[in-house]
Structure 1
């Protein structure tokens, strides 16, 4: 494993633009674009690789069709060329790059598989060398250097994405992860066992990847590596814990220093947060489902129109100061109507159905009337958000037009379940995950 992780450092000579070009090219060949991006004039072609899969559903290996006997493939073997689309030094390769086990993202994912496993002695299987969900004797400096490099590459992808993503179904929507790496792997085995590229759906994560759970570093390493290999399949929104001040109050800052030491730990923490600063803030699925970490903003902040989100600046190292609209998207909550009186409801109506978010101490809460107005104004049918733990992993709220989803079970030692939402065929389907 030490040799494998050390190889990560040797690949740092490639520029960020090189890797962006590689991944956008490879994903295009794999068919990673959404349905809305396929034009009537487009035609299918045979992919130039074949994937071999284990009975368990995991990828075993990948071979070029021209290297497989009896494949009947007579296509032209691709050559490495130069393209001006991403600069004169950008190397354009075919989709087999996505499965290249020597790629930095793949090295990180292989390392995380090692992290997940129990390692026993080759001579005596009863002698445990490494417990599951530990790194053992892995070279932390090489691992940290790899993560910093991946952060730079992913930042280059995200900074070019719109602040408001427009996605087409089917889409799996996941809520808060909060450093719960074991649960994230449970979702992988249930939803994208073959990897996101070979899964005929896209994935939307609603933020809060770090803090409170002990594996925030591993969660962001996993998500960033998949974002690098499949940019349009893994979509990452920013939550209220993707903020430096919040992480210093909770656990992620300390986690980075504990796992990598003061100097490298701070470098990693800053590199990860540089990625958080450029993450999109909301998404719309099929032009009907609005998704954000917290919720909807008051109409006096951004006029209540979804389109205005596209004008939020990037990067946002201090979102509270730089964009009130971004802050509301990350922090707002629905009002729990059972807890208010008729008099209070009348007071909320005077301010467009919004009120101070006393529980958070920042942003606003919104009523069912405010939600209905937002949906009607933007031609939407539902809002899906995260931000609040739910005992069943999800909750239907505000007249059935709002769904809250939470994707980390046993949160802070509790007994809650983890769940996700599938938006497909005009249905929002709730999926509860058995993480026992």
Structure 2
């Protein structure tokens, strides 16, 4: 069923048969009967009801005898949509007119070879539609940011200017960027643009935004296994009395560069976000977002690759960095690399959208200047991957030469490739780069450097986040829900206030009707596997 909000905003267009046939491209035939179909012909279909179909199907299959059988009834009373209630228009071509919208309502009249009334619904006035930005030569950063928020990729000249602006910002930052609380720490994004927008809604909005729309993600709390065990009887009782219960369990993780092995989960459920304190159990807040006026953001790398909109995702983050340099901290991940992006999608995406690799090269130059780590109020270290046997103190990170392609070994490599694991000290990583580090290593590093916690990303966590080791000295934050559009995992962001107590907001992927998919791209591509 179509949400009532969309019904209220519907735009009606009435066609007579001549208009309809004229509007179709020569590549498409008019809507005709076919009594030979085993599925039943249009003549056999219920012509007295209004139906809803996808625009894609309306354009591609207007003559299919199966077409009428697939339609979904929306209203039972055909008198509700009389022809005289619509506004008569003659769009030049139906296929050029309809792609602006998501759903089409057809009223099929008896013995008529084509629909007599088409009722068109906007996908949503707030859902960005991807495409090329239309910018004049005098446009600047404000216009670029506005276009980036709409999932529009910038012209080549603007993108190169933006990369230069961001490089200048990054050159002034040290290898370890100090960040003050309150701060929102975000894990891997991987080109999932629409989920990045939802992340900002969960966090209370992008820098500079006010009156943020409530999050629209839906989480089935029955399907979430919270990584923090709930031991407080009062909290257990509170959760049992909420709309849906949660089972206490420990989370699992998967390497983000291996084939995803996430357990399938339902995407539907109640409209809510879930917040969890690291040691205080889980608290559910319905439709609540906090203002982001003083909020800082740390993104822990892996902005690109695998997702449909890596270019638009990185463009938005760069626009925010250039506009609010003190509010946005971009940490380098292992995918911010020339070699990796040529394998996992970002290079190919730039080639497709610009016809050359020039923008990709400019983005790679920005990658070279991304910071290696951030430290929150001097006590929470934020890196993409993990620790290195060559680094014992935070000061040793400060002197790493970062303005280069990620090397195959050494301290720089380890910071973006290493993982925590149940080992004594160090072990060889199955990734082929970085190391596996254990409880003793993490505890010693935190003690020597006066740290309370190491926050990192780099690994898929089905439950959105996971504490490692007995003393919870390391936490993994994962911010790409339904990773690769197939894993079914939830995602999280970690909010750190002045008391330095982590609180996690868990969210799921935005629904299908609130995201766009590039033409010809349903499901994961080869480089997702």
Q: Same fold (TM over 0.5)?
A: yes
Pairing 1:58-69 to 2, within 5 Å after superposition: none
Is 1:330 aligned with 2:416?
A: yes
Q: 1:195 to 1:318 in 2, by over 3 A?
A: closer
Per-residue deviation, residues 54-103 of structure 1 (Å, max 9, x unmatched): xxxxxxxxxxxxxxxxxxxxxxxxxxxxxxxxxxxxxxxxxxxxxxxx5x
Alignment counterpart, residue 180 of structure 1, candidates 176, 192, 196: 192
Pairing 1:29-428 to 2, within 5 Å after superposition: 104-115=140-151, 143-193=155-205, 195-196=207-208, 199-261=293-355, 263=356, 266-298=357-389, 301-302=390-391, 304-320=392-408, 324-335=410-421, 337=422, 348=424, 353-358=425-430, 360-399=431-470, 400-412=472-484, 413-424=486-497, 425-428=499-502
Give the Å deviation of 1:190. 2.4
Secondary structure of the structure 1 residue equivalent to 2:381:
strand
Query: How far, CA to CA, are the matches of 1:398 and 1:268 in structure 2?
Result: 42
Structure 2: tracts of 5 or more residues without a match:
1-128, 210-291, 511-529
8 Å contact from structure 1 (residues 196, 234) kept in 2: no
Query: How far, CA to CA, are the matches of 2:402 and 2:334 in structure 1?
Result: 16
Secondary structure of the structure 2 residue equivalent to 1:166:
strand
Query: How far, CA to CA, are the matches of 2:206 and 2:296 in structure 1?
Result: 13
Aligned twin of 1:85: none
8 Å contact from structure 1 (residues 238, 276) kept in 2: yes
Secondary structure of the structure 2 residue equivalent to 1:153:
helix
Query: How far, CA to CA, are the matches of 2:168 and 2:332 in structure 1?
Result: 16
TM-score (norm 1): 0.65
Which structure carries more helix by proportion? 1
Per-residue deviation, residues 36-59 of structure 1 (Å, max 9, x unmatched): xxxxxxxxxxxxxxxxxxxxxxxx
TM-score (norm 2): 0.54
Higher gyration radius (CA): 2
Give the Å deviation of 1:275. 0.4
Secondary structure of the structure 2 residue equivalent to 1:320:
coil
Give the Å deviation of 1:160. 1.4
Q: 1:194 to 1:398 in 2, by over 3 A?
A: closer
Structure 1: tracts of 5 or more residues without a match:
12-101, 116-134, 338-344
8 Å contact from structure 1 (residues 196, 202) kept in 2: no
Query: How far, CA to CA, are the matches of 1:157 and 1:5 in structure 2?
Result: 26
Query: How far, CA to CA, are the matches of 1:219 and 1:156 in structure 2?
Result: 20
Q: How many residue pairs align between the two structures?
A: 296
Q: 1:392 to 1:371 in 2, by over 3 A?
A: same
8 Å contact from structure 2 (residues 207, 295) kept in 1: no
Per-residue deviation, residues 157-188 of structure 1 (Å, max 9, x unmatched): 10110001111211100000000000110022
Q: 1:114 to 1:283 in 2, by over 3 A?
A: closer
Q: 1:430 to 1:307 in 2, by over 3 A?
A: same
Query: How far, CA to CA, are the matches of 2:132 and 2:351 in structure 1?
Result: 24
Aligned twin of 2:507: 433
